[in-house]
A = this chain, B = another copy of it.
Amino acid sequence: MIQPSSVFSNLTVSLGERSYPIVIGRHLLDDSDFARYVPGKRIAIVTNTVVAPLYLQRLLDMLGAAGKSCISIVLPDGEEEKNAANLMRIFDALLEHKCDRKTTLLALGGGVIGDMTGFAAATYMRGVPFVQVPTTLLAQVDSSVGGKTAINHPLGKNMIGAFYQPQAVLADTATLASLPDRELSAGMAEVIKHGAIIDAPFFDWLEANIVKLMARDDAALAYAIQRSCEIKADVVRQDEREGGLRAILNFGHTFAHAIEAGMGYGTWLHGEAVGCGMVMAADLSERLGFLSASDKARIIALVQAAGLPVTAPDLGAERWLDLMEVDKKNEDGKIKFILLKPLGQSIITGAPAEFVRATLAACTQADK
């Protein structure tokens, strides 16, 4: 059943000649008008076994109606699949189909598909056009915007990648209807992050609307996605290649990456690890005197209301520190943290080891 599409918002990520639009709306996938955002005549759609049965045919129909010729590459689902072997499967398929430098790679799926397809686009024949069609909340509010692409390495998350901007991001909010609850929560972690690091009024709004959001209220979700994309686009505009400011988008991620690597990719969803990681970063912020106890409590409560874990896995302190030492933000062997000072603002800083150990001890116990 074709439904009329409605566009909530059309933003631009302003990066000079690499600028691109983010279109957020309902039923974009059913409307061949949106094919104009997809450059080229030949499109290679990369998706996964969960998303393909839901949306692939509709996307093929939409692009076909606009006169484009498509191939599709369907990969297994899950963070543990964001690896070199699946990246090579994309290259294999592109070469078998003799895709050339003008072939557009289109990522249809969540953050894993988006990151991996983006990296394939950055490196296939040294770079081909790329479009993001995110179908999860996490991808719509975060990973599809800003041009970070990567795959994981067994020794660290996103360790192999490139900065490579898409030509367009098309976020169809209707795809969120099919999202499992756990994935909705995972996406909400990045939404909360955007409020915590830079926009206290948005954090207040999230507290007031978290129940509506978790009930998938259309208007509330659309606003949360739009505001998240605005915040992220603004940070990326100021610092595309993470020379400074952009690192604040990693709030919670130093801890999160250690959780994901330590537990094995795919055990916790990335957003779940980020939710817990934000609680840990808030704890460390409080210990260093940057954040009040009440604001820390607000963060824990909002993360919990979003259905996310607030107690960290007990990896052992040495393993925790070891895993955090390979974080990309680090320099000269010192771990860098993104902390809140206060809620709604962030700083990038090292931290004395005894404070970090105290946070690890406190956050791995259930009764904080």
Q: Does A263 contact B (CB under 8 A)?
A: no
Q: Is the CB of A95 within 8 A of B155?
A: yes
Q: Does A159 contact B (CB under 8 A)?
A: yes
Q: Is the CB of A96 within 8 A of B155?
A: yes
Q: Residues of B contacting A329 with CB < 8 Å? A: 101
Q: Is the CB of B98 within 8 A of A325?
A: yes
How many residues on the A side are at the interface (Cβ–Cβ under 8 A)?
A: 38
Residue of B nearest to A329 (CB): B101
A159 interface neighbour in B95, B150, B332, Cβ under 8 Å: B95
Within 8 A of B (CB), among A107-166: 119, 122-127, 148, 150, 153, 155-156, 159-163
A331 to B92, CA, bound (A): 19
Q: Is the CB of B102 within 8 A of A332?
A: yes
A160 in contact with B91 given A123-B123, A126-B148, A150-B126 (CB within 8 Å): yes
Q: Does A326 contact B (CB under 8 A)?
A: yes
Q: Does A84 contact B (CB under 8 A)?
A: yes
Within 8 A of B (CB), among A12-47: 41
Q: Does A204 contact B (CB under 8 A)?
A: no
Q: Is the CB of B125 within 8 A of A162?
A: no
Q: Does A177 contact B (CB under 8 A)?
A: no
Q: Residues of B contacting A238 with CB < 8 Å? A: none
* Distance from A182 Cβ to chain B, minimum over Cβ atoms (Å): 29
Q: Does A333 contact B (CB under 8 A)?
A: yes
Q: Is the CB of B331 within 8 A of A102?
A: yes
A326 to B125, CA, bound (A): 10
Q: Is the CB of A153 within 8 A of B95?
A: yes
* Distance from A40 Cβ to chain B, minimum over Cβ atoms (Å): 10
Q: Does A57 contact B (CB under 8 A)?
A: no
Q: Mark A75-110, 1 if CB is under 8 A from B, else 0.
A: 000000000100010011001101011100000000
A326 in contact with B98 given A84-B88, A91-B159, A160-B91 (CB within 8 Å): yes
A42 to B336, CA, bound (A): 19
Q: Is the CB of B163 within 8 A of A126?
A: yes
Q: Is the CB of B326 within 8 A of A127?
A: no
A331 in contact with B127 given A91-B153, A155-B92, A162-B162 (CB within 8 Å): no
Q: Residues of B contacting A333 with CB < 8 Å? A: 98, 100
Q: Is the CB of B328 within 8 A of A123?
A: no
Nearest 5 A-B pairs (CB), nearest first? A95-B155, A125-B328, A126-B161, A123-B160, A100-B330
Which A residues contact B (CB, under 8 angstroms)? 41, 84, 88, 91-92, 95-96, 98, 100-102, 119, 122-127, 148, 150, 153, 155-156, 159-163, 241-242, 325-326, 328-333
Chosen A-B contacts, 13 in total, with CB atoms closer than 8 Å, are A84-B84, A91-B153, A92-B155, A95-B153, A98-B325, A100-B328, A101-B330, A102-B332, A123-B160, A123-B161, A126-B150, A126-B163, A162-B162
